[in-house]
């Protein structure tokens, strides 16, 4: 099945055209800085993925998607010559609230429920919904599926998802932990079960998605029972530009002392904090690791804090589960940084997570998952490569096939 995956953000659009039978990508597209004067969109086609770049200044996110469709139809290099050659559309939706516990085919009822979720991710859900509407108007007969970042976490028990606030806020506004990166955690857990050669339902796993954003999930017998991101992706680990968990009283203190608005505070926490805020170097882990090598003390502190918070979260989830069979590392940092994996697991050997330094140092091939703990480590350590767009395409084709 040929699936167009649409991943719309507040100022970005990532798309891929994926042939799910052969698991191959036919087209990749990335639009960034959407809404700004210097907004651009790069598009590339298989097999060599040479990028062509277009200005998309003045266009909204759904308008960028429309532009991509026009290029897909017109470009002689494109793998398709008409929109009829796209069999299904898979949309990544950040927040599904309490309405969606799995991927959903978008019919009238699902579309109405999506409206109710917009408040939960005001930056991400509205542009994604606008893309769905645009595609429905252009390709009304092509099935569309919504794949939710939150769906995997709907199995959490109330003790993990209710906040210790007056219950009226949960009842009135549905303020609770929803988590994120669910597609990635689910996939990482299943891949680890395959690596261990045991059924997922028998295992206790701690899955660590460490990219620009980061979250850790306790996956007990295949179900998410707790996760570090919360009502929004701001909670939990220290991230590229997000603070992660801090004392909430700091917010009001800074706002009063600096005389800044809610929006400005939101921006400090989401865009200026984390690795970037502490290191003063960059949000990109590679730059910060380079700065550490050059002797930058702030960068060293940022890395120390980043690692420490991951260690504490892994330890917390070890306590939350009835058993722990493996810790699974995935996403940009989890997959690629042997140095950070070594720093993280150096502190966790006493819990029975014993890294094999040689296995850890091997640069994995893309798409090849592996175990990097010593043979008799009581708890295994796995590295799993993630590909969010591919997983969304697979979930979409599975659901659409069931409907046919």
Q: Does 293 bind ligand ADP (CB under 6 A)?
A: no
* CA nearest to 6, candidates 102, 150, 136: 136
Q: Does 233 bind ligand ADP (CB under 6 A)?
A: no
Residue closer to ligand ADP (CB basis): 39 or 285: 285
Please give the structure tokens belonging to residue 356: 């094999």
Considering only residues 192-211, where is the footprint of ligand ADP by CB under 6 A?
211
DSSP 373: B
Judged by CB under 6 A, the stretch of 18-26, 79-87, 115-123, 333-341 that binds ligand ADP is 333-341
d(C-alpha 291, C-alpha 281), whole Å: 8
d(C-alpha 317, C-alpha 227), whole Å: 9
The contact pattern for ligand ADP, residues 135-174, with x = CB under 6 A and - = no contact, is: ----------------------------------------
Residue closer to ligand ADP (CB basis): 192 or 333: 333
Q: CB-side exposure of 303: number of CA atoms within 13 Å?
A: 25
Q: Does 284 bind ligand ADP (CB under 6 A)?
A: yes
Residue closer to ligand ADP (CB basis): 33 or 111: 33
Judged by CB under 6 A, the stretch of 113-121, 156-164, 284-292, 319-327 that binds ligand ADP is 284-292
Residue closer to ligand ADP (CB basis): 126 or 213: 213
DSSP 353: B
Phi-psi region of 179 (alpha: psi -120 to 50; beta: other; left: phi over 0): left
Q: Does 342 bind ligand ADP (CB under 6 A)?
A: no
Identified catalytic residue from 87, 149, 226, 325? 149
Q: Does 285 bind ligand ADP (CB under 6 A)?
A: yes
Residue closer to ligand ADP (CB basis): 210 or 314: 210
Single out the residue of 332, 341, 354, 355 in contact with ligand ADP (rule: CB under 6 A).
332
Please give the structure tokens belonging to residue 321: 């589960």
Helix (H, G, I), strand (E, B) or coil at 346: helix
Residue closer to ligand ADP (CB basis): 223 or 242: 242
* CA nearest to 126, candidates 263, 29, 34, 9: 9
Q: Does 307 bind ligand ADP (CB under 6 A)?
A: no
Judged by CB under 6 A, the stretch of 44-52, 115-123, 194-202, 329-337 that binds ligand ADP is 329-337
Give the Cβ contact number of residue 226 at 10 Å.
23
d(C-alpha 258, C-alpha 265), whole Å: 10
First to last CA, the chain: 12
Considering only residues 240-259, where is the footprint of ligand ADP by CB under 6 A?
240
Shortest Å distance, C-beta 289 to ligand ADP: 6
Please give the structure tokens belonging to residue 103: 């991927």
Q: Does 331 bind ligand ADP (CB under 6 A)?
A: yes
What are 43's strand-pairing partners?
Answer: 29, 52
Shortest Å distance, C-beta 310 to ligand ADP: 14
Residue closer to ligand ADP (CB basis): 80 or 331: 331
Shortest Å distance, C-beta 188 to ligand ADP: 12
Q: Are 321 and 225 in contact (CB under 8 A)?
A: yes
Phi, psi (5° rounding) for residue 197?
70, 30
Shortest Å distance, C-beta 98 to ligand ADP: 25
Shortest Å distance, C-beta 26 to ligand ADP: 21
Single out the residue of 126, 127, 143, 213 in contact with ligand ADP (rule: CB under 6 A).
213
Q: Does 333 bind ligand ADP (CB under 6 A)?
A: yes
Q: Does 212 bind ligand ADP (CB under 6 A)?
A: yes
d(C-alpha 277, C-alpha 291), whole Å: 14
Q: Are 231 and 161 in contact (CB under 8 A)?
A: no
Shortest Å distance, C-beta 378 to ligand ADP: 28
d(C-alpha 51, C-alpha 41), whole Å: 10
Distance from the Cα of residue 190 to its chain's centroid: 16
Is 149 one of the catalytic residues?
yes
Shortest Å distance, C-beta 303 to ligand ADP: 10
Please give the structure tokens belonging to residue 187: 């996939």
d(C-alpha 392, C-alpha 90), whole Å: 6
Q: For the chain, how big is the Rg over CA atoms in Å? A: 21
Shortest Å distance, C-beta 282 to ligand ADP: 8
Please give the structure tokens belonging to residue 86: 């796209």
How many residues bind to ligand ADP according to rule CB under 6 A?
13
Which residues lie near ligand ADP (CB under 6 A)?
211-213, 240, 284-286, 289, 331-333, 336-337
Q: What residues are labeled active site?
A: 149
């Amino acid at each position: 099945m040929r699936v167009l995956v649409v991943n719309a953000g507040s100022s970005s659009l990532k798309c891929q055209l994926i042939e799910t039978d052969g698991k191959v990508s036919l087209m990749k597209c990335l639009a960034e800085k959407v809404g700004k004067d210097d907004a651009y969109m790069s598009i590339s086609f298989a097999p060599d993925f040479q990028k062509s770049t277009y200005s998309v200044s003045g266009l909204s996110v759904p308008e960028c998607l429309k532009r991509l469709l026009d290029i897909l139809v017109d470009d002689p290099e494109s793998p398709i010559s008409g929109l009829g050659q796209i069999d299904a559309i898979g949309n990544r939706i950040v927040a599904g609230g309490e309405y969606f516990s799995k991927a959903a085919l978008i019919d009238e009822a699902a579309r109405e429920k999506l409206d109710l979720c917009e408040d939960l991710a005001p930056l991400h859900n509205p542009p994604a919904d606008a893309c769905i509407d645009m595609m429905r108007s252009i390709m009304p007969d092509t099935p569309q599926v919504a794949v939710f970042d939150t769906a995997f976490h709907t199995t959490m028990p109330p003790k993990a998802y209710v906040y210790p606030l007056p219950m009226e806020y949960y009842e009135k506004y549905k303020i609770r932990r929803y988590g994120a990166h669910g597609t990635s955690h689910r996939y990482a857990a299943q891949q680890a079960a395959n690596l261990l050669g045991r059924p997922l339902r028998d295992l206790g796993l701690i899955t660590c998605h460490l990219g620009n954003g980061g979250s850790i999930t306790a996956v007990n017998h295949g179900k998410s029972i707790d996760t570090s991101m919360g009502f929004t992706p701001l909670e939990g680990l220290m991230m590229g530009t997000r603070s992660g968990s801090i004392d909430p009283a700091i917010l009001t203190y800074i706002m009063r002392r600096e005389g800044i608005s809610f929006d400005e505070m939101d921006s400090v926490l989401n865009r200026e904090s984390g690795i970037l805020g502490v290191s003063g170097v960059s949000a990109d882990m590679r730059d910060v690791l380079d700065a550490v090598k050059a002797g930058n003390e702030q960068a060293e502190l940022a890395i120390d804090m980043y690692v420490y918070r991951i260690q504490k979260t892994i330890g917390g989830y070890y306590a939350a589960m009835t058993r722990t069979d493996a810790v699974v590392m995935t996403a940009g940092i989890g997959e690629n940084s042997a140095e950070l994996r070594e720093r993280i697991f150096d502190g966790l050997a006493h819990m029975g997570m014993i890294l094999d330094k040689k296995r850890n140092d091997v640069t994995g091939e893309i798409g090849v998952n592996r175990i990097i703990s010593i043979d008799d480590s009581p708890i295994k350590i796995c590295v799993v490569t993630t590909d969010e767009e591919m997983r969304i395409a697979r979930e979409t084709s599975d659901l659409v096939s069931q409907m046919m």
